[in-house]
Amino acid sequence: MELYFAPLEGITGARYRQAHVQVFGGADKYYLPFLSPTRDHLFTPRELRQVSPEANRGLTAVPQLLTRNPEDFLWAARALGEMGYEEVNLNLGCPSGTVVAKGKGAGMLADPAALDRFLEAVFSSDLGGIRVSVKTRMGMADPAEFGPLLEIFNRCPISLLIVHPRVREDYYRHPVRREAFLTALPRIVPPVCYNGALVSPEDCFRAEAELPGVRSLMIGQGLLADPALARKVQGGPPAGREELRRFHDLLYRGYLADFGSPRNTVFHMKELWRYLSRLFDGGEKLFKQIRKAQDAPAYEGAVDRIFRELPLREEADWTGAAKL
C-alpha cells in the first residue's frame, strides 16, 4: 500500500516538503498545492519556486493543476514534463466558493458534459508521455452524482483516480461517505487512491483491509498533526521530541529566510500549530500564547516551553477542537 501526502494550500509548500522528507519521510509521493495556469502560459516566480526540481530534490513530487481550460492544462502539463515531472494531477476536489464559482475544482463536477469535453481534449492530445491523475469528490450535492461522473472517468486513460468521498457541499465538515464509495468501488476502472479521514495508523490499516482493490491512500490533515504517521503505517517509530523540534526549527528558519520578516513567519507557523498541537497533552495556555504572539520573542518563548514541558503523545488527539 503506497501512501501519498495530500496538498494543503499555504502549508505543504517546498519548505515543508523538504523538512518532512528529511526528518520523517514515509510518504511515497508528495502532491503539490495547486497551480492555476492562465492563458498567459507563464509560471509566476512564486510558482516556479514551488515546482523547480531543486525545490523537490529527494522526494517524488506531483504538481496539481486547477483549471477548466484544456489548452491551459495542456500547456502546463507539457511545461512540467519538460522539467522532468512524470505525472500531473487535475484538481476536481477543491470546494472553495471562489473556486467553484469560476467552474473550477469541484465546480467542474456540476457540468458532466463540459467535464467530458475537457478530458477528451486533454487525453486526445500529445502529452509527451506525462501521466494525468485526477483528484475528485463524488459530486456537488449528492453522491448519486458519482455514477455519471464515473462513466466519464472510466472512458479516460487516467493514471490514478484519487477519490475524496464527500460532495462539495460537505466541504470538510461532514463525515466521509464511506458506504457510497464502497458501492461505487467495483465499477471504477482506473487505479484507485482513497483520500479522507485518515488520521491514525488504525484508520489506514482499516482502509487497506476494507477497500478491496485500492492501491494507495492519500493523507492530509493526519500527516500535518502527526508528521510521523506515514512512517508509522510502514512499521516505523512514532515522532520523537528531538526530531519534532528539528522539524519545527527547519521550517521556522526556512520561513524566516523566505519571508525576511519574523512577524510574517510567526503568522505562518501558527497555521502549522493548529494541527501539530494535537500531538501534545495539555498546554492550552501555551498554545494560547502562540495564538496571541505578534513577534518572534513571544512565539519562540512559547515554543521552547512546549517542547520542554508538555508530554508528547504517540498518536494525535482528534477528540476535541484544535488548541489554536
Angle at 218 between CA 216 and CA 220, to 5 degrees: 165
DSSP string, 256-313: HHHHS-HHHHHHHHHHHHHHHGGGBSS-HHHHHHHHH--SHHHHHHHHHHHHHHSPBP
Q: Where are the beta strands (DSSP E) in the chain?
A: 2-5, 29-31, 61-62, 64-65, 87-92, 131-136, 161-163, 192-195, 216-219
Cell triple for 168: 462539495
Residue type, 112: P
pTM for this one?
A: 0.96
Cα atoms found within 13 Å of the Cα of residue 295, Cβ hemisphere only: 2
pLDDT tens digit sequence for 19-73: 999 999 999 999 999 999 999 999 999 999 999 999 999 999 999 999 999 999 9
Q: How far apart are the first and last CA of the chain?
A: 33
User: Looking at residues 276-297, what average pLDDT do you find?
Assistant: 96
Query: Please, are residues 109 and 137 in contact by the beta-carbon 8 Å criterion?
Result: yes
Measured CA to CA, the distance from residue 56 to residue 84 in angstroms comes to: 11
Could you state, in order of their start, the residue ranges of all structural domains in the chain? 2-233, 241-309
User: What pLDDT shows up at residue 320?
Assistant: 82
User: Looking at residues 97-124, what average pLDDT do you find?
Assistant: 97
Question: What is 2-233's CATH number?
Answer: 3.20.20.70
pLDDT tens digit sequence for 180-202: 999 999 999 999 999 999 999 99
What does pLDDT average to over the chain?
96
236 CA to centre of own chain: 22
pLDDT tens digit sequence for 83-96: 999 999 999 999 99
Query: Please, are residues 154 and 189 in contact by the beta-carbon 8 Å criterion?
Result: yes
Measured CA to CA, the distance from residue 197 to residue 195 in angstroms comes to: 7
